[in-house]
Amino acid sequence: MIVLAAARLTAVKGSLLTKLEKIIRCPIGLGIGIYYEAGNPCGAKAIHPPPCPVTQVKILPRAPPHGGQKRERRHKELMNITSCTNKLKRLEAGLARARAEIKKSVKNSTQASDPDYTPQGPIYWNPNAFHRSYLEMEKTFKYFVYEEGDPPLFHTSTCDSILAVEGIIMGLLEVDDKFRTQNQEDAHVFFLPFSFYYMVQYIWERGSYDSSPFDRTINDYINVIAEKYPYWNRSRGADHSMVACHDWAPGESRFNYLLFHNSIRVLCNANTSEGFKPSIDVTLPEIPLPYGRLKPLGGPSPSKRPILAFFAGGGNHGPIRPILLEHWKNKTDDMQVYEYLPEGMSYDEIMKKSKYCFCPSGYEVASPRIVESLYTGCVPVLLKEGYVAPFSDVLNWDSFSISVPTSEIPNLKKILMGISKKRYLKLQKRGLQVRRHFMVNSPPKRFDVFHMLLHSIWLRRLNVRIHDHLVS
């Protein structure tokens, strides 16, 4: 008898691990701010083999001699399952090889050559390990996007608002031909193509406190793919991922226990107070794309930035902005802090004339000002509590930004004035260097934001080992 574990997902209490299935997260620090463990594949072919029927099996008693056809059918089922198990073992063995190569690079002073870009310098925790991991990802990593579901709730999202990065990344995931595979058996990660932005737009009644439409949509979709394919049940969602920039996404993902606790959620709202788990989830940088286009990049040299620090933004958005405005709004000429930018002043131009740009968290912590600052050559000043900065598993944010706790906001000017010119110039130069990792390109380019997000997902997949077990 074939046993399919958790065909329908309901609220789960206690341990999710069973004798039939284990997901092992093994944190092994590699000196680059991440955790590793696990297995990998070889490559993808554009074929569609039938999905493996299931991954948990009870060994059947030998069929009686007269049941020839029945015995043959059962034998084929077991052979199918064995084949799928062997494919998974090969997948995991490849990931184990990649992990071993990355671990060796941590202590290796010789860096691999790269025709496009070689990570170097203090903006990385360990440039050798990051580069090796990135190259292993390019050689190995494959993802599969479930085709079930119709737009607008699935497979598409906004591309021209403050949340545009959600739609941009979803679109790139759909059309990529290097990392995306049509063969599920070659995939390390399976993407759930939810559009949280359009869920809010189309299935939520404005002003309502009824969250059941989100609950039904998310769980119905997961139930469909869990019954049609074996992969969700096989890993309890640990090798599945989703992308969302809407503020509500962390809360909406709670409607499925496994999605919230096990899956790799790529979120703009990356605050630990919202349930963000740095070892499993990925921070999606909020990138301003008015009308779906990047703002002009660059700005004057450091010597031509007369303004010490700048911020403009509404004060009724979260607990940190009111504190910033209370202490610094319209107080000094060199600290230009506004609730509403005066008429005739250009937000982008003031940012380009500023040495430092304040990036206070809003209600749901994400701030497009972080990326805006890097785009314009302004050193970001992160005013945050519990926010996990993008790509912080490989990027050393202290090398190109300033972090100030909320309690020190009254002392902001003293803190900034205390930074030497030499240190400021280093921060500013490194910000220009790290900017490539936050660029949106179509088609994507190596080491840009799309590939950095894939790399963050790759790191978390390396930290998961999936097993199939035949038991009697």
Rounded CA separation 189/105 (Å): 24
- CA distances to 203, 355, 371 from 307, in Å: 46, 6, 19
Q: Which fold has domain 297-438?
A: Rossmann fold (3.40.50)
Amino acid 192: pLDDT? 98
Specify the amino acid at residue 54. Answer: V
pLDDT band at 160 (very low <50, low <70, confident <90, very high): confident
pLDDT in tens, 268-305: 999 888 899 999 999 999 998 876 677 778 999 999 99
Q: What average pLDDT does the segment 217-239 reach?
A: 96
Rounded CA separation 164/285 (Å): 11
Domain with CATH 3.40.50.2000 in the chain: 297-438
Q: What average pLDDT does the segment 194-205 reach?
A: 91
Rounded CA separation 450/118 (Å): 18
Classify burial at 349, counting beta carbons within 10 Å of its beta carbon; exposed 0-12, middle 13-18, buried 19 or more: exposed
Full-model pTM = 0.82
Mean pLDDT: which of 9-23, 36-50, 147-161 is highest?
Answer: 147-161
67 within 8 A of 75, measured Cβ to Cβ: no
- The number of C-alpha atoms within 13 Å of 292 and in the hemisphere containing its C-beta is 9
Average pLDDT, the chain: 83
pLDDT in tens, 394-439: 999 999 999 999 999 999 999 999 999 999 999 999 999 999 999 9
- CA distances to 56, 143, 170, 387 from 276, in Å: 31, 22, 20, 9
**Closest C-alpha to 387, from 403, 376, 399:** 403
pLDDT in tens, 65-89: 455 666 666 655 555 555 577 889 9
CA 438 to chain centre: 13
pLDDT band at 49 (very low <50, low <70, confident <90, very high): very low
Give the number of other Cβ atoms within 10 Å of residue 41's Cβ.
23
Mean pLDDT: which of 73-87, 111-125, 309-323, 416-430 is highest?
Answer: 416-430
Helices (H), 49-193: 68-106, 127-140, 164-175
For the chain, what percent of residues have pLDDT higher than 70?
80
pLDDT band at 469 (very low <50, low <70, confident <90, very high): low
Amino acid 82: pLDDT? 55
pLDDT in tens, 232-266: 999 999 999 999 998 888 988 999 999 999 999 99
Is the pLDDT at 36 greater than 80? The verdict is no
Rounded CA separation 420/138 (Å): 40
